[in-house]
Structure 1
Amino acid sequence: MASLSSPWVEWAGEYTKAAQAEALPPNEWAARVATAAAAAGERGDVQFSAGLAEMLARVVLSGESSGAAPAAAWKYAEAALAARLASPALLLTLLSSRVIPQRVARPTAYRLYLELLRRHGFKLCFQMKAANSNKIRQLIDDNLNLSQIFGFSACEPGVFIVEFVLCILWQLVDTALDDESLLELTPEKKAQWPTRPQDISAFEVSFSEQKPEKIEKLQRMNSVITIELIGHLLHNKVITRILSLARENMQTQWGLFTYRLRLLVANSSTLQASTMSLVAFQQLILDDHNVHGENKHSLHKKFHPMVASNPLSSPNGHCLGGSYSALWTPIDMYLEDCLDGSIAATNSIEILSGLVKALQAVNRSSWHDAFMALWIASVRLVQREREPIEGPVPHLETRLCMLLSIATLAVADIIEEADSRCGETDLSSHWKQKTATDDLRKELMLSLQALGDYESLLVPPPCIISAANQAASKAAMLVSGINSSSGYMESINETGNMRHLIVESCISRNLLDTSAYYWPGYINGHVNSMSHAIPSQLAGWAAFMKGTPLTQSLVSVLVSSPASSRARKVI
């Protein structure tokens, strides 16, 4: 295990040994390590530290080998992951290469590894935003050979997430097969990643501390827990979305994985004896058949015209987004899952931005298409709630919140991450990074301009027609040079749609500026004469409000022109 230690990590290693000897509580240990790291000025490698993850893996594994208070080391590892001090993905990667192959000899260590994996293994969105995320991805790739095995570079965050999730699940399936001697039924007759020690020296520690019958009981329990964890992951809707990307883009490796999954379902006595539902297992296998079996050609033929020629650039917009590519449907599914409560509502912005980044990377699409996919999915979400609201839950308002708040903030999250990467680069690459960030904002602008072509999709629900019209009127007044606070907005007859509301939401979050009001087709073409027409029509009301005597000519002007709401209130 190569050393990544900086001075504070080396200190943390010595402190951890002393803390084990003194039986220091894990929370106190974590607080002391975090304080020391910040005091040392190592802010770039404090949160999700790669060096600390390596140190903890070394301490845990050395404790298992020597039998020196290994439980305390595992507790410190849990505390570090819970406090976001160490990288969970890297720590679990380093542990898996030793703990899984030696699970027969050391079942307690494997049980603790499974618990860490269950709690922290798939909280990837925050790790991918850490300052050292590039280094962490590279270290994990070096240990697991993700790029070599799956054929895609793990340098891209989205690709890495797909490969890492599939790798972890694949390791668990291979482990479950190996526990029941079923790996011999695979074509390769071995695991993709090691599930057994490479040499007999790994068994040098005896079982003298535990009775053989207790060891066997732990091994049986671990087999059951492994199966249960696989089932838990297959029932997780975010995980299944990620797996759908692997199925579509890594077909050779996906076929090898699902072959093992079918073996497990058909032959595992542990799975068959459990009370776990097989629906998730069978659904994944069924989906695999639909994509890779006899229906593959027809599906490819069905989706090919949309995928081959700029999937989301069609201006027709019939049937609420008829040109919407199937490559982006995971976004629709995630948004619906947020509404029905099947997944946690917390961190929805980070999860959604991570999903968009993953799809953009795996689909190898432009950011224009990725942003268009997000806008179309969010608008479709609103349009699916056209029926009158029933019951205590205001469904339409929730869907509008997803469009105008969550989706917009997800875009802001993507752009802010690009801005932060630009700020972290050295001077030699700063200009290139700055150009990339500007390009990202330009792609956002172009996606919203193209969104205007989907007129039928953008028709606002009745409850927000007034707000959409006001947004369009605001733009018209600015273009015509009229101050929006003058009280004339009620006299402007601009028809708005949901794009006007999206643009206003982006402007309020500094993703766009008011130059968006000048986009072709954003407002009606009659605004050029508005600056002259409105003052002349409303001058009479202004004079009347200032106390001008009510002459016959003034009455004629008042009758011929509408009053603003301010004037009506005074009257």
Structure 2
Amino acid sequence: MAASPPLDTSPDTSATSDLERRVMATVMTSETRGVPPWLCAVKVAQCCGNEESDSPAFPNADLAAIMVSNLCFSHNTPYMWKLLEQSMATKLVYPLHVLALLTSRVIQNRREQPQAYRLYLELMRQYAVSFSLLDAGPHKEKITKSIDDTLQLSNTYRFENWDLGMAVVLFLVSAISSLLDCVLQDWGSLVASQCQLVNEGPQSMDVDVNSNLSNNKSKHVELLRQNHAFAALEFLENMCSSKYVKVSLRLVHLNMYA
């Protein structure tokens, strides 16, 4: 059996773990007491102030990683999603960084976590092409590295001169490719399911309550998959109609054949 990797006890890791404990304690207390997500976001920002100084720099890369890692899926609650969206809107976290972290976790679990996938697509619709490259703040290099490490963009596309602008462009390319794959896979499953129902031929008239419940659940799951496929296609249509995205894709195409 391979030996387990040594525990990272570096100061950065220790500080991040301490920040995570404070942030999640604040979130869970606020959720229990019914504190509005916007007010919880203020309290979370204050937790980051205890991390470095009285006036921490935002967007905060560690905060984004903490929120997404707990959201996927140990604390996957509507409140946590609202808090994440509030944090993105107020620039506590960099929207593109959050979307990259969600992409690496939600897409592969979309069938087990259909609601998370739906909310992910909604965040993509709101923020994927609406952010500014100049808003990453003083943590820009750390955010850029995290995006690259999360999605393995530099390894996939073999670019050497790496910066936030390139991360944005290649994230868009990667997101379009991943969501197209999702649509094809989900519709392939739907077609296979429909073919199976046709090939089964006439069914027995005997009523089985458990069987009916199972069939209803399966139909609900298939309906969710179908809705997700349409939602992903709608997002892709809107995304590809953006002039910014068109220019970005054109630049990637030209660099591929340069």
Q: What's the TM-score once normalised by structure 1's chain length?
A: 0.36
Q: How far apart are the structure 2 equivalents of 1:43 and 1:172?
A: 41
Q: Shift of the alpha carbon at 1:43?
A: 7.0
What is the identity, as a one-letter code, of the residue corresponding to 1:51? D
Match of 2:83 in 1: 76
Match of 1:178 in 2: 185
Match of 1:229 in 2: 235
Note the aligned Cα RMSD (angstroms): 2.8
Match of 1:303 in 2: none
Match of 2:63 in 1: 52
Match of 1:116 in 2: 123
1:134 aligned to which of 131, 134, 141: 141
Match of 2:209 in 1: none
Match of 1:28 in 2: 39
1:213 aligned to which of 211, 219, 223: 219
1:166 aligns with 2:173: yes
Q: How far apart are the structure 2 equivalents of 1:116 and 1:42?
A: 30
What is the identity, as a one-letter code, of the residue corresponding to 1:139? S
Q: Shift of the alpha carbon at 1:117?
A: 1.2
Match of 2:29 in 1: 18
* Per-residue CA distance 1:60-113 (angstroms, 9 max, x = gap): 1134xxxx6611111111111111101222222222222111111221110001
Q: Shift of the alpha carbon at 1:160?
A: 2.1
SS in 2 for 1:141: helix
User: With CA pairs under 8 Å and 6+ residues apart, which has the higher RCO, 1 or 2?
Assistant: 2
What is the identity, as a one-letter code, of the residue corresponding to 1:26? P
Match of 1:103 in 2: 110
The question of whether the paired residues in 2 share the 8 Å contact of 1:154 and 1:163 is answered with: no
SS in 1 for 2:45: helix
Give me the identity figure in percent: 27
What is the identity, as a one-letter code, of the residue corresponding to 1:250? M
What is the identity, as a one-letter code, of the residue corresponding to 2:219? E
Q: Are residues 155 and 6 of structure 1, via their aligned partners in 2, closer, same or farther at CA, if it must alter by over 3 Å?
A: farther
1:152 aligns with 2:159: yes
| Superposition map of 1:366-445 within 5 A | none
The question of whether the paired residues in 1 share the 8 Å contact of 2:129 and 2:244 is answered with: no
| Superposition map of 1:310-329 within 5 A | none
- Runs of 5+ consecutive residues of structure 2 not aligned to the other structure: 1-7, 190-213
Match of 1:250 in 2: 256
Q: How far apart are the structure 2 equivalents of 1:69 and 1:22?
A: 18
What is the identity, as a one-letter code, of the residue corresponding to 2:239? L
SS in 2 for 1:181: helix
SS in 2 for 1:122: coil
- Over alpha carbons, which structure has the higher Rg? 1
What is the identity, as a one-letter code, of the residue corresponding to 2:33? E
Q: Shift of the alpha carbon at 1:125?
A: 2.2
Q: Shift of the alpha carbon at 1:245?
A: 0.5
Match of 1:239 in 2: 245
The question of whether the paired residues in 2 share the 8 Å contact of 1:141 and 1:147 is answered with: yes
Q: Shift of the alpha carbon at 1:46?
A: 3.8
Q: Shift of the alpha carbon at 1:58?
A: 1.6
Q: Shift of the alpha carbon at 1:243?
A: 1.0
Q: Shift of the alpha carbon at 1:147?
A: 0.8
1:88 aligns with 2:99: no
Q: Shift of the alpha carbon at 1:16?
A: 1.3
Q: Shift of the alpha carbon at 1:6?
A: 6.5
The question of whether the paired residues in 1 share the 8 Å contact of 2:71 and 2:81 is answered with: yes
The question of whether the paired residues in 2 share the 8 Å contact of 1:6 and 1:51 is answered with: no
1:61 aligned to which of 63, 72, 84: 72
The question of whether the paired residues in 2 share the 8 Å contact of 1:138 and 1:154 is answered with: no
Q: How far apart are the structure 2 equivalents of 1:102 and 1:226?
A: 15
* Per-residue CA distance 1:219-260 (angstroms, 9 max, x = gap): 211110000001001111111111110111124xxxxxxxxx
Q: What's the TM-score once normalised by structure 2's chain length?
A: 0.76
The question of whether the paired residues in 2 share the 8 Å contact of 1:137 and 1:160 is answered with: yes
1:37 aligns with 2:48: yes
Q: How far apart are the structure 2 equivalents of 1:38 and 1:211?
A: 47
What is the identity, as a one-letter code, of the residue corresponding to 2:129? F
Match of 1:555 in 2: none
Q: Shift of the alpha carbon at 1:124?
A: 4.1
* Per-residue CA distance 1:368-408 (angstroms, 9 max, x = gap): xxxxxxxxxxxxxxxxxxxxxxxxxxxxxxxxxxxxxxxxx
Q: Shift of the alpha carbon at 1:42?
A: 4.1
- Runs of 5+ consecutive residues of structure 1 not aligned to the other structure: 183-207, 252-362, 364-571
